[in-house]
Structure 1
């Protein structure tokens, strides 16, 4: 595939949403595919400033899948100036296999060459200091809890899971960033979505989904 041209980093302000981004994985989530149970993963991008999130669905933990997910993220949110992520030494407690796979993906030459050519600075947190990534680990927990409440352990198809993930992204981005008074419908409530879209209506009906 053709290489993307370098991004003009001097034109990107640090105050722009996702100019500085935290990166983490969550999963696996099981789906039904061709009569079998398959694993799927979610890549979470979160903005340092607005605390907005962007979720991408991955079929596996390969470098190719991650690069495609990252390119989709850049196409929608723009190329970040800085990326912060775990160094994989303690990525998921008690999951040595995931540690090795994640470390192989994010430190792969293809990934690092891509972000280098795009003028992106990738920083890894200090080893054995997972609290340094607490701002995105907290949002990983929020997304996981939301998915558990919606899916309730049920197997869904890929397209259903993608729909749920994008609706979860919209709901999490609609959370308030400031103290809410007695009037919950007040227009002064500031949310991450205010920095991402001019339309505050995310269009998600308040119904109970039944995925069979």
Structure 2
């Protein structure tokens, strides 16, 4: 047998601290929108907020306006706490909201409040959905769930909001980890 040099393996990749640090739920989140949903009063979009650590999902309907997005983010923070890190793609709505948040942060009235709850916003590279893997995967799950629920029916926006919240409950109702020997590998 001829001598073969040992294989040189690349150094192990370090996972980001946001993926390995124990945090409260929804402290580090990913944001994205799905396709438009037709209602009897117009078109709405679905906003997904996904917890990076636990893969829990928060869903709400949006009109793709920055001021509406800020109100949705405030509703989310009121029920789940203000996230410290937000990851999203480069959607126009998110850029406007990020600019709006930065302007609000520098105003004297809100500086005291936001000093303790500062949000760091990370935008992934344009046209690269694979970089938002943890939340892009959950978008597929949400789309499949809503496709079976909504089908081609047209609902009132409040009915869509109710169906979206019911889908959120179904999607977020999964175990965080395996218990005992119940793993199916």
Following TM superposition, by how much is the alpha carbon of 1:28 offset from its aligned partner in structure 2, in angstroms?
0.7
Which residue of structure 1 aligns with residue 93 of structure 2? Answer: 102
Match of residue 86, structure 2, among 83, 90, 93: 83
1:15 match: secondary structure = coil
How many residues get paired?
A: 154
Moved over 4 A (4+): 177-183
Which residue of structure 1 aligns with residue 119 of structure 2? Answer: 120
Match of residue 52, structure 2, among 48, 55, 62: 48
1:26 match: secondary structure = strand
Q: Which whole-Å CA distance do the structure 2 matches of 1:115 and 1:20 have between them?
A: 19
1:143 match: secondary structure = helix
Following TM superposition, by how much is the alpha carbon of 1:105 offset from its aligned partner in structure 2, in angstroms?
3.0
Compute the TM-score of the two structures, normalised by the length of structure 1: 0.65
Match of residue 74, structure 1, among 72, 77, 82: 77
Following TM superposition, by how much is the alpha carbon of 1:14 offset from its aligned partner in structure 2, in angstroms?
5.5
Which residue of structure 1 aligns with residue 66 of structure 2? Answer: 63
1:170-209 pair list within 5 angstroms: 170-178=169-177
Which residue of structure 1 aligns with residue 26 of structure 2? Answer: 18
Compute the TM-score of the two structures, normalised by the length of structure 2: 0.73
Q: By percentage of residues, which structure has more helix?
A: 2
Following TM superposition, by how much is the alpha carbon of 1:152 offset from its aligned partner in structure 2, in angstroms?
1.1
Q: Give the gaps of 5 or more residues in structure 1.
A: 1-12, 89-100, 189-212
